């Protein structure tokens, strides 16, 4: 991608967007509008923003991600996760631009006995997953050159995420009961950002061709939410041997009911990503150690 390329980045204040911003600036001019300039719940705002920027690439990590709340406000979820994505695709196609869009393991119902491949049948089990799948389909139908990165269990040293919540609660409680029958792999937000920059260095919308479409991009390895929590607390205890931290106890999904059903299997197969772009995501154990180091520098588990 040419250094002078212009990139429109949505959601720059989010977990992935904040990691993307400095890396994309190494590739070209990045325009990262705030909500006032780009309201993803308003298709006219989306259309106007794209036409104003006229980018070569649109990078879209922004999404409606309140999984449980989506069950009671589906219109908002679909507005952001489907309608805004459709307009991004339409405007990109008009410009000859490309779209790199982030999606989710929640497009699957989690009943498969293997790590999901890109070609496996989708069957969302909740409104959030259905709205994200609808966004994928709208983007594919738009005619724009595009890449869709499905990921899972995103976390990092900043923003609101499972790990930071667990570490905070571990300091406050004696016992934390965490679901142990949902399997997947934690994915570091910075690893996703590095992948994005890696991909955009290799292709333009004109050269994307058969390398476009859907890719699975989640951390390597697998664990459960309980296993993730336990390892995070273990590493925190390792750093702070005198700290009184909660004991992690496994529970079933049935013991922790939520408005939205979660997939029991969130594992994603990254073979296509490795084949087409020569990229392997980090093993979740390795990324977790790095993130824990960053959290230690800023005050672990706060926020």
Q: What is the mean pLDDT of residues 213-235?
A: 98
In the chain, what percentage of residues exceed pLDDT 90?
A: 95
Tokens read off for 128: 């959030």
* Parallel/antiparallel/unpaired status of strands 223-224 and 183-184: antiparallel
Q: What is the mean pLDDT of residues 243-262?
A: 97
Q: What is the mean pLDDT of residues 206-233?
A: 97
Say if residues 202 and 147 touch (Cβ distance below 8 Å). Answer: no
Asked if residue 176 has pLDDT above 90, the reply is yes
Tokens read off for 175: 């016992």
Asked if residue 301 has pLDDT above 60, the reply is no
HEC letters along the chain:
CCCCCEEEECCCCCHHHHHHHHHHCCCCEEECCCCCCCCCCCHHHHHHHHHHHCCCEEEECCCCCCCCHHHCCHHHHHHHHHHHHHHHHHHHHHHCCEEEEEEEHHHCCCCCCCCECCCCCCCCCCHHHHHHHHHHHHHHHCCCEEEEEEECCEECCCCCCHHHHHHHHHHHCCEEEEECCCEECCEEHHHHHHHHHHHHHHCCCCCCHHHCEEEECCCECCEEHHHHHHHHHHHHHHHCCCCCCCEEEEECHHHCCCCCCCCCECCECCHHHHHHHCCCCCEHHHHHHHHHHHHHHHCCCCC
Distances (CA, A) of 273 to 82, 158, 213: 24, 26, 11
Sign of CA dihedral 290, 296, 300, 302: negative
C-alpha closest to that of 230 among 245, 252, 243: 245
Q: What is the mean pLDDT of residues 72-84?
A: 98
The residues spanned by each domain of the chain are: 6-159+187-220+267-282
CA triple 63-133-287, angle to 5 deg: 60
Model confidence at 302, pLDDT cuts 50, 70, 90, reads: very low
Asked if residue 197 has pLDDT above 90, the reply is yes
Encode 125-163: b = buried (16+ Cβ within 10 Å), e = exposed.
Answer: bbbbbbbbbbbbebbbebebbbbbbbbbbbbbbbbebbb
Query: Higher pLDDT residue, 4 or 184?
Result: 184
Model confidence at 133, pLDDT cuts 50, 70, 90, reads: very high
Asked if residue 258 has pLDDT above 50, the reply is yes
C-alpha closest to that of 60 among 42, 82, 27, 76: 82
State the catalytic residues: 128
Superfamily of domain 6-159+187-220+267-282: NAD(P)-binding Rossmann-like Domain (3.40.50.720)
Summary mean pLDDT of the chain: 96
Q: What is the mean pLDDT of residues 296-302?
A: 67
Q: For residues 223 and 127, what is the distance between their CA atoms, to the nearest angstrom?
A: 25
pLDDT value, residue 300: 44
Asked if residue 4 has pLDDT above 80, the reply is no
pLDDT value, residue 1: 59
pLDDT value, residue 5: 85
């Amino acid at each position: 991608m040419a250094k002078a390329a212009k990139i429109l980045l949505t959601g720059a204040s989010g977990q992935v967007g904040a990691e993307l911003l400095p890396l994309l600036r190494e590739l070209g001019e990045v325009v990262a509008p705030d909500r006032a300039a780009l309201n993803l719940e308003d298709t006219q705002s989306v259309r106007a923003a794209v036409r104003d920027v006229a980018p070569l690439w649109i990078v879209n990590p922004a999404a409606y991600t309140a999984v449980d709340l989506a069950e009671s406000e589906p219109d908002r979820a679909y507005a952001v996760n489907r309608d805004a994505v459709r307009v991004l695709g339409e405007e990109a196609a008009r410009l000859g631009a490309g779209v790199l869009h982030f999606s989710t393991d929640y497009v699957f119902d989690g009943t498969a006995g293997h790590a999901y491949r890109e070609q496996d049948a989708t069957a969302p089990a909740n409104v959030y997953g259905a709205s994200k799948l609808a966004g994928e389909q709208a983007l594919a139908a738009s005619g724009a050159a595009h890449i869709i990165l499905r990921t899972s269990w995103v976390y990092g040293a900043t923003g609101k995420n499972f790990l930071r919540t667990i570490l905070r609660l571990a300091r406050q409680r004696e016992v934390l009961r965490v679901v142990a029958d949902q399997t997947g792999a934690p994915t570091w937000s910075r690893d996703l950002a590095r992948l994005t920059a890696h991909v955009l260095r290799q292709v333009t919308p004109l050269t994307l061709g058969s390398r476009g479409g859907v890719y699975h991009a989640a951390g390597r390895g697998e664990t459960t939410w309980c296993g993730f929590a336990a390892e995070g607390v273990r590493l925190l205890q390792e750093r702070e041997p005198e700290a009184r931290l909660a004991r992690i106890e496994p529970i079933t999904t049935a013991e922790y009911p939520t408005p939205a059903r979660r997939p029991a299997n969130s594992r994603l197969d990254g073979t296509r990503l490795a084949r087409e772009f020569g990229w392997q995501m980090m093993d979740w154990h390795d990324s977790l150690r790095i993130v824990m180091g960053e959290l230690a520098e800023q005050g672990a588990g706060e926020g």
